[in-house]
Structure 1
Amino acid sequence: MLKFLCKIGLLVLALAVGAVWLVVLRLKDVPAPLLVAYGLLLAGSAAGLLWPGMLGPLSTRRRVLVFLGVPAGLSTLGLYLAVVYYIADLPVLLALAAATCLAWAAATFLRGRQAAGDRGAPQTRRAFLTAGAGLVLGAASGLSAGQVERHRREVLARSERQAAVRATGARRPILDDAVRVFPLHAGDTIVTYGQFYGGLDGWEGLNGYLRTLVDKAQIAVPVYAYLIDHPRHGLMLVDTGVNWEQAHDHDGYYNHNQMVSRLLTQRDEYRLTPEQDLRVRLARLGYDAKEITTVFLTHVHDDHAGGLRHLPQATVVLDRRDWEHGTIYPYSFDLVRNNLSFPAFGSGAFGPFPAAQDHFGDGSVILVPTSGHSPGHMCVLLRVDGGNVLFTGDTLYTLPHLAIDQVRQMTIGGADTARQLEAARRIQTLLASDADTVPLFAHDNTRYQSDLVASAFAQGAPGEAGLRRLRAHMETVLTPGWRLRPGHTPRFVAPTSGAPVGRVEFR
């Protein structure tokens, strides 16, 4: 009975490991029919090795191993090399092969010593040959580690060259004391349509995350950071976008933490052209990344924090709860760990928000906690000539998301969803009560961002007229009761032949 229970436990463990592996492969876009066949092969191998008789009266473990185990092993290796392998794995794979050879050689040698006379000599020779192969593989493992490091340095060097070549620009002369804000399109991220717009269609919590693994209706959405040139407080950023390594050496970037991080992310989740590099965007406006003194990070997700790799001198202001409980991939923060500043939110209420932080003490920058999308998400309100701008981060992705009872992004679920909806309604209340405040979003893929915001902030200072145009456009999209007007409901359009992702239409 105990032996049977142990076998059941081993089978459950094997199936659990196999299920996780299948999820990884699905995340890497392996076709579902192939995964079904492969999963059956894995399950049959595990069950057949534990209970060989279940596959027929003539089956043995040796036959199960030959006809199921070996194909399963070769399939695993092939799938790994095809969709998961990264150059940094080479030293590890060589080291594992070396260890296997040495262990096999030791076992063969011991069997040869136990055999008598001429029977033991061939086994001893095979042991020495296998041990020699193991030593060669071990040496190759050590040498390949240096090659991998050189590869990463070359990737970084290409990034520096790309930024330097395209970073021409001259500082625009500023002849007044106006606060200037420049939207910086700092990359794109590939997401499922449901993750971006399906929060009211079952994309919530664990169910939503599982659907991102199997639903491949994907769209590309922009990632925006915002440069603030303040006459009193210097150069600041709200969020930082993605960096070159994330987009062009994705597996290497996430291999810095642990292989699991790399396995559970998509290789093509970010896009970044040389012109979208944060350093290039800044230089085209006449600024240098080294001049940035403060970064207000709405939250710690990597599409907002990647650019911190270029800002080691900046003070990074973020909610402590996000740093302590929301940071999944800390590599982006390695150069600024000693520069973190956590607001206390002790300045009292601000409009509909019960707590806020007057960051500089002069009312120029107000931070408000808006947890839900992440444990310590916050929004940033900036005073500009003629009104205010509210940087919403990911509390709301786009202008249509202000109609939160009609359009909603995927939410974490439970209390976190409730907190995010509460934060969104507070933003609605703030915008309704102050006609001089306009929202600026981190991922808006609508005309509001591409036309209206781009035009109003082309010179950095929209003034009263520019802010009024933005508010007027908001009224053409949303009713006073925060409902979408006709023509502004999002709809997924499948990709045409040859297109990697779909697009969004508004009807």
Structure 2
Amino acid sequence: MLKTLSKIGLLVAALAVGTAWLVVLRLKDVPAPLLTVYGLLLAGSVVGSLWPDVLGRLSTRRRVLAFLGVPAGLGTLGLYLAVVYYVTDLPVLLALAAAACLVWAAAALLRGRWAAGVRGARPSRRAFLLGGGGLALGVLSGLSVDLAERQRRAALARGEPERQAAVRTPGARRRIVDDAVRVFPIHTGDTIVTYGQFYGGLDGWEGLNGYVRTLVDKAQIAVPVYAYLIDHPRHGFMLVDTGVNWEQAHDHDGYYDMTSRLLTERDEYRMSPGQDLRVHLARLGYDAKEITTVFLTHVHDDHAGGLRYLPQATVVMDRRDWEHGVSYPYSFDLVKDKLSFPAFNSGAFGAFPTGQDHFGDGSLILLPTPGHSPGHMCVLLRMDVGGVLFMGDTLYTLPHLAVDQVRQMTIGGADTIHQIEAARRIQKLLASDPGTVPLFAHDNTRYQSDLVAAAFDQGVLGKEGLRELRTHMEAVLTPDWRLRPGHTPHYVAPASGTGLGRVEFR
């Protein structure tokens, strides 16, 4: 009875893992007919290994292995190589093969001794060959580490001439040195997301259900990823977020580990040489090495990727995000010892019950806005004319300020409640202070592409730029934060039926 229950447990576990693997392969666009045949081979080999007599003529485990197990194993290897494999996996694969050979050799040796019934029986030839093969594969695994890393570095180095050419193209500026507070939007490429993830928070895109839909829904759009450079006459050169980096866009599989690759797409990010953070800074007259402080709204990798270029900077972020947020260690590897966690003990600030006056002079206020991540925060900067509120991902775009009509995917439960509360506090702040304008990390409307770009072309928010931004806000949103006609987002599918769609506002 116990043996049967154990087999049933193994069967359930194996089928669960197999089903998850098939789902991942389908998400990677492997054809359904191929997956059907492959799934039958997997199921048959598992069942046949546990109960060989169930499969009739394949009534022994040896036959099940030969006719079902081997094809299923080869299929697994082939599909993995086709949709997941990357060169940095080579040492791991060789190490796994080495371990398998050594285990098999040990099993063969023990079986031979048991069969002979003599403690001093000579090792079998099979055990000797398997052991030797395992040791050889182990050596190859060690040797391949450097080979794989060199190949990856060479692939990345091929982008360096393009970036240098982008720095030298006409239009680069000299840094303006005066007493003005300047802000420069930096477009660090685009991220490919599902339309529902971006705009479907009121249509069921919430929590686990929303996450699953992001994996299977193919209605995708490209949205920008922005960081912001602050040139402050008293506090130096700072960034709000850092965007994505060149490796994320051009070496996605090498940048992320195997698990991350299973659940993401290789074209998740796209970036031209001119959109590289280092190129942007150079063309504005700055150097990445001059950045002293990064205010990270949250730990997600499309906001933290550029930290790889800023090992000298102090990174200011909410402790809750560092301890409980979804972060990728490689992005933080060079700055993990230079983190600064605000205490949020400067008292209430408008609609916010607490905040952090970072420099102690009222020039930059950190505002906790949890929900999108456990420790998400917004950054309020006072400029010579008015102020700017860096939104991070609390709200993606200007239309998202109409939070009861347009909403991004939320985590669900208490996190959704917190995020909506944060959005309403932002509404009150903007309503009470007509001299403050929001700046978004992913705005794909003309507010960002036309008006913000024009207002901050020289980095200084003048009276005219402030007026135009606030006027546009009032043209899009009513005083009670509803969308006016002509500003509701709609998904437009690509004409060919495949590829990226676009967003129209009607």
TM-score for the superposition, normalised by structure 1: 0.92
Residues 69-468 of structure 1: matches in 2 within 5 Å?
69-102=69-102, 104=104, 133-168=133-168, 172-174=174-176, 176-255=178-257, 259-468=258-467
Q: Which residue pairs with 2:50 in the alignment?
A: 50
CA distance change for structure 1 residues 398 and 33 in 2, over 3 Å: closer, same or farther?
farther
Separation (CA, whole Å) in 2 of partners of 1:159 and 1:323:
31
Higher mean displacement: 23-32 or 477-486: 23-32
Q: Deviations over 1:326-359 (max 9, x none)?
A: 1431211111112111111111111111101111
- Kindly provide the amino acid, as one letter, of the partner of residue 341 in structure 1: S
By how many angstroms is 1:384 displaced? 1.3
CA distance change for structure 1 residues 292 and 7 in 2, over 3 Å: closer, same or farther?
same
Q: Contact conserved, 1:23 with 1:213, CA < 8 A, in 2? A: no
Report SS of the residue matched to 2:87. Answer: coil
By how many angstroms is 1:136 displaced? 4.1
Separation (CA, whole Å) in 1 of partners of 2:31 and 2:426:
42
CA distance change for structure 1 residues 13 and 486 in 2, over 3 Å: closer, same or farther?
same
CA distance change for structure 1 residues 347 and 103 in 2, over 3 Å: closer, same or farther?
closer
What is the percentage of aligned positions where both structures have the same residue?
80
CA distance change for structure 1 residues 477 and 89 in 2, over 3 Å: closer, same or farther?
same
Q: Which residue pairs with 1:120 in the alignment?
A: none
Q: Which residue pairs with 2:4 in the alignment?
A: 4
Separation (CA, whole Å) in 2 of partners of 1:351 and 1:5:
62
Q: Contact conserved, 1:180 with 1:461, CA < 8 A, in 2? A: yes
Separation (CA, whole Å) in 1 of partners of 2:177 and 2:50:
80
By how many angstroms is 1:134 displaced? 4.3
Q: Deviations over 1:137-196 (max 9, x none)?
A: 343323222201212332443454443333247653536422111100011111111111
Separation (CA, whole Å) in 1 of partners of 2:179 and 2:50:
77
Report SS of the residue matched to 2:408. Answer: coil
Q: Contact conserved, 2:167 with 2:283, CA < 8 A, in 1? A: yes
Separation (CA, whole Å) in 1 of partners of 2:115 and 2:11:
36
Report SS of the residue matched to 2:205. Answer: coil
Report SS of the residue matched to 1:199. Answer: coil
Count residues with an aligned counterpart. Answer: 498
Separation (CA, whole Å) in 2 of partners of 1:473 and 1:293:
34
By how many angstroms is 1:15 displaced? 1.6
Separation (CA, whole Å) in 2 of partners of 1:107 and 1:233:
66
Q: Contact conserved, 1:155 with 1:245, CA < 8 A, in 2? A: no
Q: Contact conserved, 1:27 with 1:266, CA < 8 A, in 2? A: no
Higher mean displacement: 71-80 or 165-174: 165-174
CA distance change for structure 1 residues 339 and 112 in 2, over 3 Å: closer, same or farther?
closer
Q: Contact conserved, 1:356 with 1:369, CA < 8 A, in 2? A: yes
Separation (CA, whole Å) in 1 of partners of 2:103 and 2:363:
67
Separation (CA, whole Å) in 2 of partners of 1:386 and 1:214:
46
The unaligned stretches of length 5 or more in structure 1 are 117-122
Higher mean displacement: 397-406 or 492-501: 492-501
- Kindly provide the amino acid, as one letter, of the partner of residue 289 in structure 2: K
Report SS of the residue matched to 2:22. Answer: helix
- Kindly provide the amino acid, as one letter, of the partner of residue 143 in structure 1: L
Q: Contact conserved, 2:187 with 2:224, CA < 8 A, in 1? A: yes
CA distance change for structure 1 residues 290 and 3 in 2, over 3 Å: closer, same or farther?
same
Q: Contact conserved, 2:58 with 2:64, CA < 8 A, in 1? A: no
Higher mean displacement: 380-389 or 163-172: 163-172
CA distance change for structure 1 residues 140 and 486 in 2, over 3 Å: closer, same or farther?
same
Report SS of the residue matched to 1:167. Answer: helix
By how many angstroms is 1:8 displaced? 1.0
- Kindly provide the amino acid, as one letter, of the partner of residue 17 in structure 1: V
- Kindly provide the amino acid, as one letter, of the partner of residue 376 in structure 2: H
The unaligned stretches of length 5 or more in structure 2 are 117-122
TM-score for the superposition, normalised by structure 2: 0.92
CA distance change for structure 1 residues 433 and 64 in 2, over 3 Å: closer, same or farther?
same
- Kindly provide the amino acid, as one letter, of the partner of residue 273 in structure 2: P
Q: Contact conserved, 1:373 with 1:420, CA < 8 A, in 2? A: yes
